[in-house]
Amino acid sequence: MELGCSVVAPLAPHKHTHTVVFLHGRGDTSQNMADALLRWTRDSRGRTLMDEFPSVRWVFPQAEPSLVETTGETWPQWFDIWNILDMTDREELQAFGLKESVESVRRIVRREARAVGGYDRVVLAGISQGGATAAHVLLHLGALEDGGVEKSVNTDEKGADEDEKAVEKVEEERPPRLCGLMGFSAWLPFPGGSLDETREVLGMEEFLDSKSDELVRNTPVFLGHCSDDPLVFIEYGQQLRDGLESFGMDVEWHEYPDGGHWFNAPFGMDDAVEFLKAQGIPIVKQ
């Protein structure tokens, strides 16, 4: 399944340095998500993330409409949920849609990584069900066969050999990792197991390779959750944090007193900006 995407290009004249793939929540759309995040949600300086990071390409995949078992309606969702207040209630219903979504988003992340120069220039993010899906996408990425670095074209044979050696050296010095994983008001579907056990739920072992575990453990994580979230309770966010830490990941956890089932603004946006800056994404000059 090839998902549609809303795409926002880097601001001219800035060169494209990084890509953020951001998954919307259940029942939402990619365009609404793009508008909310890049136009209306601002940090304490009154800036949006696009203002702060003009060299970023923003990609918002669109979840396919699917049947909601509890209502009989059709919503855009990454997977179906029987009981949003108790994620373990008929949890098996989540697996089929989650597997399809992971496969589709995985292709997008890998495509974007090749275009921008490697996984370490791609941030995978999501809110609510999008954040839950993003976590499982990371677990099943697998390494890029070519490392994601575009080799320069050189008709001189000696020069071409030198270019290839330079690329190989760069790849040796760049351990496999995403630039970052970011989740807002998110949770971990099928929690409580080891990394291998969590992967086994979706039965996607064919996507894994010798570097898959290293890629997961090297990827820095930002999680933001509001304690007054009425939909995805703060305990679910804490469970996500604990699960990723148990996989060996470095998790930056932010808990906010208010904001509901959404981003905390402006302080949550301030923290997100600082996280992205720390990963080496160029910020606009003051």
pLDDT single digits (tens) 225-272? 999 999 999 999 999 999 999 999 999 999 999 999 999 999 999 999
pLDDT of residue 149: 45
User: With a threshold of 0.85, does the pTM exceed it?
Assistant: yes
The helix or strand, by DSSP H or E, that contains position 21, with its residue range, turns out to be strand 18-23
Tens digits of per-residue pLDDT, 47-88?
Answer: 999 999 999 999 999 999 999 998 999 999 999 999 988 888
Q: Is 113 exposed, middle or buried (0-12, 13-18, 19+ CB in 10 A)?
A: buried
pLDDT at 2: 79
Residue-wise pLDDT for 136-155, tens only, equals 999 999 888 655 444 333 33
Task: Let me know: does 102 contact 113? Beta carbons within 8 Å.
Answer: no
Neighbours of 197 (CB within 10 A): 10
* CATH superfamily of domain region 5-148+168-278: Alpha/Beta hydrolase fold, catalytic domain (3.40.50.1820)
What average pLDDT does this structure show over 106-121?
97
Q: What count of Cα atoms within 13 Å lies in the side-chain half-sphere of residue 241?
A: 16
Task: Give the pLDDT band of residue 168 (cuts 50, 70, 90).
Answer: very low
Q: Which residue from 215, 142, 208, 143 is spatially nearest to 178, judged by alpha carbons?
A: 215
pLDDT at res. 84: 83
Higher-pLDDT residue of 20, 152 = 20
Closest CA to 199 of 158, 80, 207, 229: 207
- Residue ranges of domains in the chain: 5-148+168-278
